[in-house]
Amino acid sequence: MTRVFVPRDAAALALGADAVAAALAPHATVVRTGSRGLFWLEPMIEVETPQGRTAYGPVEAADIPALLTSGVLTGGAHPKRLGRPEEIPFLARQTRLTFARCGVVDPLSPGDYEAQGGWAGLRRALEIGPAATLAEVTASGLRGRGGAGFPTGIKWKTTADAAGARKYVVCNADEGDSGTYADRMLLEGDPFALIEGMAIAAYAVGASAGYVYTRSEYPHAIATFDAALRIARDAGLLGRDVLGAGFAFDITQRVGAGAYICGEETSLLESLEGRRGQVRAKPPLPAHKGLFGMPTVVNNLITLATVPTILASGAQAYHDLGMGRSRGTMPIQLAGNLRFAGLFEAGFGLTLGELVHDIGGGTRSGRPVRAVQVGGPLGAYFPPALFDTRFDYESFAARDGMIGHGGVVVFDDTVDLARQARFAMEFCAAESCGKCTPCRIGSVRGQEVIDRVLAGTEVDANLELLRDLCETMRFGSLCALGGFIPYPVLSAMNHFPEDFRPSARAAAA
Amino acid sequence: MPSYEAWNEARAREIIARERDGEGTTLPILHALQAVFGCVPAQAVPLMAEALNLSRAELHGIVSFYHEFRRVPPGRHVLRLCRAEACQSVGADALGAHARARLDVDWHGTSADGAVTLEPVFCLGLCACGPAALLDGQPLARLDPAKLDAALEAAG
């Protein structure tokens, strides 16, 4: 029977992919894949034809009889026919390296993984040795994709050089930033890439055990990754003798429990050790004293999953992409009120305006774009006047923003930025670990001050107080939660001052 | 529909013994207890503290730190509605207000008939097709009040 690929990504499931798969099952061999990340077209199905794959979408179960009549199984014409998936403009404009296989392969088929270039990176690492592997990652210019942007090669070198009875590789899959879903997509769509990336990291630094800390809000990702770990162990890809190279490494998945702060690396380590997820003061760096006091590499999931392609294709090929000090590609996650919201992996350097308008197609509501929050709940709100900002670490930092984990959340003109600023403080108060005073107390006071502004009480004095408070939090907090929550607040005040004025608020109401 | 077991000390001890192997296993034990009992029962805390060689106060500090661990079992269905920014940009605030009014509860509350517990969640990774929710672990996307009502009615 003809093979038809139907996503099992959580977003596709939310849009009815299981019912589509069930309706197709009597007529075709249904293969479940991850998502290509074109969410306005999900569920997007792909039919295998002699000319390659033909995509249709968005498909509902109710469409299947008509699609079958139109000859869907041979790529027949139908209003929902999209043609070759690689030629859909949204995909054709991308450079998919980290996400090359996502949405293409059966995520739990080691055969698919290998046929699509899997294990080539680890094989090359084992061939060239740990020091050369490390040098390759350093030369690629890869930086931490969790948001901090720290050079991965330097982090690994520090861990490799540290003395310890044992070493760990920890993957941060606690993807808590609103507007981000790349970790989830990869866990659900190409989990072996993470396993391979972690094995390469372990080999380079001399670690024998790995942990993946996945957030509990991702039940489907957790299940897929657990299954992938079992398959990898059975196939000798993890365990005492990885790929028969005499190198021992295994991975355990741990599930978080709804604490945003556990995405902070030291808090994550505390949680892995079984304690409250409270931030640790640095130094010591995790690379010196990390999990259970041992030298530990803590990397974001996307960082680790990008390593195999760097090793397989060479550092130079990766370094050739991007701009400035931001090398390679970034899986940008277009989200919120956007027509064409989805995963867009491309070299650094696109402007925010290109992402929102040319690629994202403007708002889903059809109203004008008013603000874009980049980098999650700790990221700044940018107005259209700053849409010429290029998507790279330094360009956003230069405008008091950050790219974070690559989430881009678009708001139309109904957004109230004073409310968004209040939400930032409310979120920080709820998620603060409580260890340092600026974050624990400052976020509560911040809500109160914004409430007074919203009520029109001594607005100028309270806005000045709010700026002062943001200053204290920014420079006095122990970690990025309290330290960066001023970004959404200050950017809202600076770029959208009218939203904080009671006269303007009254006129709008 | 999830169903939970009533408190049973022997069962709790068995879960703790099964999950405690390995490094830093506090969270795996707590998740396993909640999967069986629907919450982390107060009676389980001293048993766990003993098994892990922690004080009860320390363990209480851990359980209460994490938003996800409940003190009492939830209703027959759990609706986890996203309240984060990407969903806000497409109407999550209004949807949250609708859910609270329909169920006549505040966040974390359970409707009077015991049918639904409403929990806020800050991001489900469904940010390209919000507003999003998990109903008994099943993802829902592009929700509006009518779609949410239909999903709740179908769940019963």
CATH code, domain with B141: 3.40.30.10
Nearest Cα neighbor of A58 from A74, A35, A27, A89 is: A35
A250 CA: distance to closest CA in chain B (Å): 13
Residues B49 and B100 in one domain: no
- Among A64, A65, A61, A56, which residue's Cα sits nearest to residue A36? A56
Nearest to A341 among B52, B128, B139 (CB): B128
B60 plus B28 within the same structural domain = yes
Structure tokens at A156: 């690994």
- Residue B3's pLDDT is 85
Q: How far is A51 from chain B (nearest CA, A)?
A: 31
The yes-or-no verdict on residue B94 having pLDDT over 80 is: yes
Whether B139 and B119 map to the same domain: the answer is yes
Chain A residue with the nearest C-alpha to that of B32: A255
Predicted pLDDT of residue B156: 83
CA distance A263 to A176: 7
pLDDT by 10s per residue, chain A, length 509: 999 999 999 999 999 999 999 999 999 999 999 999 999 999 999 999 999 999 999 999 999 999 999 999 999 999 999 999 999 999 999 999 999 999 999 999 999 999 999 999 999 999 999 999 999 999 999 999 999 999 999 999 999 999 999 999 999 999 999 999 999 999 999 999 999 999 999 999 999 999 999 999 999 999 999 999 999 999 999 999 999 999 999 999 999 999 999 999 999 999 999 999 999 999 999 999 999 999 999 999 999 999 999 999 999 999 999 999 999 999 999 999 999 999 999 999 999 999 999 999 999 999 999 999 999 999 999 999 999 999 999 999 999 999 999 999 999 999 999 999 999 999 999 999 999 999 999 999 999 999 999 999 999 999 999 999 999 999 999 999 999 999 999 999 999 999 999 776 666 65
Determine, for residues A423 and B121 on separate chains, whether the beta-carbon distance falls below 8 Å: no
Same domain, yes or no, for B84 and B43?
no
pLDDT tens digits for range B59-79: 999 999 999 999 999 999 999
Q: Do A218 and B142 touch (CB under 8 A)?
A: no
Please indicate, yes or no, whether residues B90 and B140 belong to a single structural domain of this protein.
yes
Minimum distance, in Å, between the CA of residue A17 and any CA atom of chain B: 11
Same domain, B37 and B107: no
- CA-nearest residue to A377 within chain B is B85
User: Residue A271 and residue B129: Cβ atoms within 8 Å?
Assistant: no
Contact check, Cβ <8 Å, A15/B86: no
Contact list, A273 vs chain B (CB under 8 Å): 23-24
Nearest CA in chain B to A210: B23
Same domain, B96 and B122: yes
C-beta atoms of B31 and A181 within 8 A: no
Chain B partners of A409 at a C-beta cutoff of 8 Å? 85-86, 89, 127
Residue B106: inside a domain = yes
Residue B52 sits in the same domain as residue B101: no
The alpha-carbon gap from A445 to the nearest alpha carbon of chain B, in Å, equals: 21
The alpha-carbon gap from A12 to the nearest alpha carbon of chain B, in Å, equals 9
CA–CA separation, A201 and A296 (whole Å):
11
A&B contacts, CB < 8 Å: 157
**Quick one: B82 and B17 in the same domain?**
no
- Is B103 a domain residue? yes
Distance from CA of A487 to the nearest CA of B (A): 15
The whole-angstrom distance between A135's CA and the closest CA on chain B is 32
In a domain, B2, yes or no: no
Phi, psi of A22 (to 5 degrees): -65, -40
Do B121 and A217 lie within an 8 Å CB cutoff? yes
A39 contacts on B by Cβ (under 8 Å):
128-129
Q: Specify which residues A410 forms β-bridges with.
A: A336, A372
Q: Which pLDDT does position A354 carry in this prediction? A: 98
Q: Is there a contact between B24 and A272 if contact means CB atoms under 8 Å apart?
A: yes
Does the beta-carbon distance from B90 to A252 stay under 8 Å? no
User: Residue A507: what pLDDT?
Assistant: 67
> pLDDT at position A505, please?
66
Q: Which of A254, A277, A333 is opposite residue B127, by nearest beta carbon?
A: A333
Q: Does residue B33 lie in a domain region? A: yes
Q: Of B65, B93, B109, which marks where a domain is finished? A: B65
Domain total for chain B?
2
With respect to residue B3, please indicate whether it lies within any of the assigned structural domains.
no
Please state whether beta strands A381-382 and A343-347 pair in parallel, antiparallel, or not at all (unpaired): unpaired
Is the bond preceding A110 in cis, omega lying within 30 degrees of 0? no
Name the residue among A221, A254, A335 with its Cβ closest to that of B86.
Answer: A335
In a domain, B4, yes or no: no
Percent of chain B with pLDDT over 90: 96
Instruction: Confirm whether B150 is domain-assigned.
Output: yes
CA nearest B123 in A: which residue?
A178
Contact A91, A36 (CB under 8 A): yes
Q: How many Å separate Cα A428 from the centre of its chain?
A: 20
Average pLDDT value for residue range B101-105: 98
Tell me, what's the pLDDT at B9?
Answer: 97
pLDDT at A502: 72
Last residue of a domain, one of B65, B93, B111: B65
B31·A274 Cβ contact <8 A: no
Q: d(Cα B24, Cα A168) in Å, to the nearest integer? A: 14
Q: What is the pLDDT of residue B1?
A: 58
Give me the domains of chain A, ranges plus CATH numbers: 3-92 (3.40.30.10), 110-319 (3.40.50.11540), 322-412 (3.10.20.600), 417-508 (1.20.1440.230)
Domain that holds residue B58: 9-65
For residues A348 and A380, give the distance between their C-alpha atoms in angstroms, rounded to a whole number.
19
Q: Are B61 and B85 within one domain?
A: no
Q: Tell me whether residue B48 is in a domain.
A: yes
For position B2, what pLDDT does the model report?
Answer: 67
Tell me, yes or no, whether B151 and B85 share the same domain.
yes
Please say which residue of B43, B65, B87 terminates a domain: B65
Q: CA-to-CA distance for A375 and A145, rounded, in angstroms? A: 11
**Cβ–Cβ of B28/A336 closer than 8 Å?**
no
- B81 shares a domain with B149: yes
Start-end of H helices in A147-290: 152-161, 182-189, 191-205, 219-234, 265-272
- Best mutation target, B71, B127, B135, to test chain A (most A CBs within 10 A): B127
